[in-house]
A and B are shown apart, each in its own frame.
Chain A
């Protein structure tokens, strides 16, 4: 009997404990993200708890690739879905078409009212073919040309030489190679990547047109391939793939003179790629007046998420709160998608790594000029095929029109179920 009473007491205590806990924290929302975006979420949690003490936030962070695979399987099975899902721009096309995410244009979200608050090219990226808005942008990657000022000075090259035209850019590369031995670009594919993104108008896609037809044999691609080949023939490319050992060593040892990429690269360079080159780098706009976007991240709410209203509140805090956006900018060089944050005095601060240059102003200009490119769910496949054909052009001297025709045939074959 005594044992019975004790058991009952324990049961009562446990139940009371559960209720007590649930009273103090009504809901726990799960946020799934990847590095380095998770740092922005981590920074946001304590600030958010000040105004929302009743919400617990659990952050689940996986490596970039693993995160998106895990999200794909979660969407497939409806199991283990987070309440807030971070999506990198490379996957946004695929995920927004999936139908597994909430349409944020619809009530109760009505995100359409915030449209003008974000860099204008982000909205089409997260909009599905049927017009639903699948995600809210948090950071963007305005394209920039980072170059080694010290090496250029040595070779007598000015910034105007680099940015005037693609031809003058490649010419400068020859001078640079002769004077310092450094390569102009890590890979000739970098030039191709910029060129196929430049000169696009709002609503146009990189690899596909509105009707979903592949456009990889258009003059834009021909010229991009020709420029890449010209750089390769001139010997100014290092044949180094991005994110490899060679790449980071190349930066550390001053073997790579310029790198065109998202503005966030300056942050990567200063923190881990080549911190010893501090002060030697400068930023410029892309050559030939090109403006392009490199990366960017979004937050979405899965349709089967358990706590959608709380998730939406948190997303608004992450993306619409100016201070939060500035904080992420400061911490991980994530260029804010929120225009209000782009107008903050933080933009005007000099960057030590870039020799005190006020480069953020430059990137802001770029962000304003980037066209609102249409994304397609087959973009990643098309990109892989185009890169493979470029390799053949560069390494095996394949004829450019033939390579692009082959690429087009391959893309249409693989995108057979449009």
Chain B
């Protein structure tokens, strides 16, 4: 393949067919780009475009009308959106914080003490995470049923526990069935469900991080006379920090997008007084119940900005001392 030869054959070269090894790589890589364009980039850009329009989807694409930022001003001033956002943050805190406070000691305990049974125990904790959220929410619905639920049965049995006409637990436990559908209980119930569901996932994350901590550190600490508690505080926790950052980020993102569990538990309505309606549910309802896809897109982007901000804040908090 000399320069002179290729120069002489110049006219023929323009008719030269592309060889398979030249185009094949593009064919092989193309599924990703085609799928990404169809299902990733296009919906993203369409959603931005849509958020500046009114659109009732049933009218077809011709039914879009430009309204500028009206959707955004409407959403930001909307009582329902604010309420759903409050619920979302409430649930994120009430279910997210305990997840980590329990998962870290749990992982440490499993790692340190449960040599043989560790995988079994972790498997049990992990089970809720891989179970269908629909099934879980349905089971919870019957557990927390007002008249026929096991939870109420257990609570009132303790509450009505009778010792010679005296009810020793009546001050702490209910004596009549609790209506879990009431606004004051809905959020706690959902938070408990979300906590229970994801605590195993976080435990696994922390456990995998624990396994990367060199054992010599603990040995050295033991020789120096450090107790288990001290080892946990001064070795385990600091070295877990990168994983904590990762796990907390996942929790923030996951909880701000919380949808399935409250949706099924409240039958899609958010429950009485919308007590269990999250921002993601509000977005879904705006689009598919109210047929207002433009406003729903605006909700989506506002939510996106919020998640981005919170993730950045989280990043700053954890990255500060490193």
**Chain A residues engaging chain B, CB cutoff 8 angstroms:** 65, 69, 71-73, 75-78, 94-95, 97-100, 239, 241, 243-246, 249-250, 255, 377, 380-381, 384, 388, 391-392, 395-396, 410, 413-414, 416-417
What string of 1s and 0s marks CB contacts (under 8 Å) between B132-175 and chain A? Answer: 00000000011001111000000000000000000000000000
B183 CB contacts on chain A under 8 angstroms:
395
- Say if the beta carbon of B262 comes within 8 Å of chain A: no
Question: Contacts A72-B291, A416-B74: A245 and B56 contacting too (C-beta < 8 A)?
Answer: no
Please, which residues of chain B bring their CB within 8 A of the CB of A414? Answer: 290
Cα–Cα distance between A395 and B57 once the two chains are bound (Å): 36
* A395 & B290 in contact (Cβ 8 Å cutoff): no
Let me know if A98 and B148 touch, CB within 8 A: no
Contact B148 A391 (CB under 8 A): no
Q: Judging by beta carbons under 8 Å apart, are B57 and A384 in contact?
A: no
Q: Closest B residue to A245 by CB, please name it.
A: B145
Contacts of A65 in B (CB 8 A): 268
Within 8 A of A (CB), among B276-295: 288-293
Q: Does the CB pair B59–A99 fall under 8 Å?
A: yes
The docked-state distance in angstroms from the alpha carbon of A77 to that of B38 is: 14
Q: Which 6 A-B pairs have the closest CB atoms?
A: A98-B58, A76-B57, A75-B58, A98-B59, A72-B57, A391-B272
- The residue on A at minimum CB distance from B59 is A98
- CB <8 Å contact, A417 and B57: no
Nearest A residue (CB) for B144: A245
Does B47 reach chain A (CB closer than 8 Å)? no
Which listed residue (B58, B79, B147, B269) contacts A246, Cβ 8 A?
A: B147
Name the A residues within 8 Å of B63 (CB-CB). 98-99
| Contact among B60, B141, B142 with A76 in the assembled complex (CB-CB below 8 Å) | B60
Asked if A392 and B145 sit within 8 Å, CB to CB, the answer is no
Contact present for A249 and B288 (CB under 8 Å): no
Would you call B274 and A69 a contact (CB within 8 A)? no
B54 within 8 A of A: yes
Question: Which residue in chain A gives the minimum CB-CB distance to B286?
Answer: A414
Q: Is the CB of A381 within 8 A of B145?
A: no
- Check if B181 is an interface residue, CB within 8 A of chain A: yes
For the complex, what is the distance from the CA of A310 to the CA of B114, rounded to whole Å? 69
Q: Are B272 and A246 closer than 8 Å at their CB atoms?
A: no
Q: CA–CA, A407 to B146, complex, Å?
A: 29
- Contact (Cβ within 8 A) A417 B273: no
Given A76-B60, A78-B60; A417-B54 close (CB under 8 Å): yes
Asked if residues B273 and A245 are in contact (CB atoms below 8 Å), the reply is no
**Which residues of chain B (231-276) have a CB below 8 Å from chain A?**
267-269, 272-274
In Å, the complex CA distance between A219 and B131 comes to 50
**Roughly how many angstroms separate A381 CA and B267 CA in the complex, as a whole number?**
16
- Known: A72-B291, A245-B141, A395-B182. Is A100-B272 also a contact (CB below 8 A)? no
Question: CB-CB < 8 A to B305: which residues of A?
Answer: none
B residues near A384, Cβ cutoff 8 Å = 269, 289
B101 within 8 A of A: no
A391 to B54, CA, bound (A): 31
Q: Which residue of A lies closest to B145 (CB)?
A: A245
> Is A100's CB under 8 angstroms from B142's CB?
no
B269 touches A75 (CB 8 A): no
**B-side contacts of A250, CB under 8 Å:** 147
**B74 neighbours in A (Cβ, 8 Å):** 416
Can you name the residue of chain B whose Cβ is closest to the Cβ of A250? B147
Shortest beta-carbon distance from B105 to chain A in Å:
36
5 contacts between A and B (CB under 8 A): A99-B59, A241-B181, A245-B142, A380-B290, A414-B290
New A-B contacts (15) at CB < 8 Å, excluding given A76-B59, A388-B273 = A65-B268, A76-B58, A99-B60, A239-B179, A245-B142, A246-B145, A380-B290, A384-B289, A388-B274, A391-B272, A392-B273, A395-B183, A416-B74, A417-B54, A417-B292
Partner of B148 from the list A100, A245, A388 (CB cut-off 8 Å) is A245
Residues in A whose Cβ lies below 8 Å from that of B130: none
List of B residues within 8 angstroms of A396 by Cβ: 273
For the complex, what is the distance from the CA of A384 to the CA of B269, rounded to whole Å? 9
Which A residues are in CB contact (< 8 Å) with B145? 245-246, 249
Q: Collect the chain B residues with CB atoms within 8 Å of residue A392's CB.
A: 273
Chain B residues in 8 Å Cβ range of A244: 267
A389 — nearest CB in chain B belongs to which residue?
A: B273
Residue contact A95 to B58, C-beta cutoff 8 Å: yes
Q: B291 contacts A77, CB within 8 Å?
A: no
CA of A416 to CA of B286, assembled, Å: 13
The answer, yes or no, to whether B8 is at the interface (CB within 8 Å) is no
Complex CA–CA separation, A405 to B222 (angstroms): 70
Docked Cα-Cα span, A350 to B246, in Å, equals 67
Once the chains are docked, how many angstroms separate the CA of A416 from the CA of B70? 11
For A73, give its contact among B57, B78, B147 (CB under 8 Å): B57
Q: How far, in Å, is A264 (CB) from chain B's closest CB?
A: 20
Contact residues in A for B58 (Cβ distance below 8 Å): 71-72, 75-76, 94-95, 97-98, 100
Question: Smallest Cβ distance from A384 to chain B, in angstroms?
Answer: 7
For A71, the chain B residues whose CB sits under 8 A away are 58
Decide: A77 and B181 in contact? CB cutoff 8 A: no
Tell me the bound Cα distance from A359 to B285 in angstroms. 38
Cβ-defined partner of B60 (8 Å) among A69, A75, A97, A243: A75
| A72, chain B: closest CB distance, angstroms | 5
Bound Cα distance A381, B292 (Å): 11
Chain A residue contacts of B54, Cβ below 8 A: 417
> What residue in chain A is nearest B294 (Cβ atoms)?
A417
A308 to chain B, nearest CB (A): 17
A62–chain B nearest beta-carbon distance, Å: 14
Looking at B58, B63, B181, B289, the one whose CB has the most chain A CB atoms below 10 A away is B58
Contacting pair A246 B59 (CB below 8 A): no
Whether the pair B273, A246 counts as a contact (CB closer than 8 A) is no
Minimum CB distance partner of A406 in chain B? B79
How far, in angstroms, from A75 to B146 measured CA to CA in the complex? Answer: 41
Q: Which listed residue, A77, A255, A380, A395, touches B289 by the CB 8 Å rule?
A: A380
> With contacts A73-B57, A99-B63, A391-B273 known, is A94 near B291, CB below 8 A?
yes
Contact B60 A246 (CB under 8 A): no
How far apart sit A76 and B142, CA to CA, in the bound complex (Å)?
37
B288 touching A69, Cβ below 8 Å: yes
The residue in chain B whose Cβ has the minimal distance to the Cβ of A396 is B273
Give A76's nearest chain B residue, CB to CB: B57
Q: Smallest CB–CB gap between B230 and chain A, Å?
A: 51
Q: Cβ of B3 < 8 Å from any Cβ of A?
A: no
Question: Shortest Cβ distance from B183 into chain A, in angstroms?
Answer: 8
B148 touches A72 (CB 8 A): no
A396 to chain B, nearest CB (A): 8
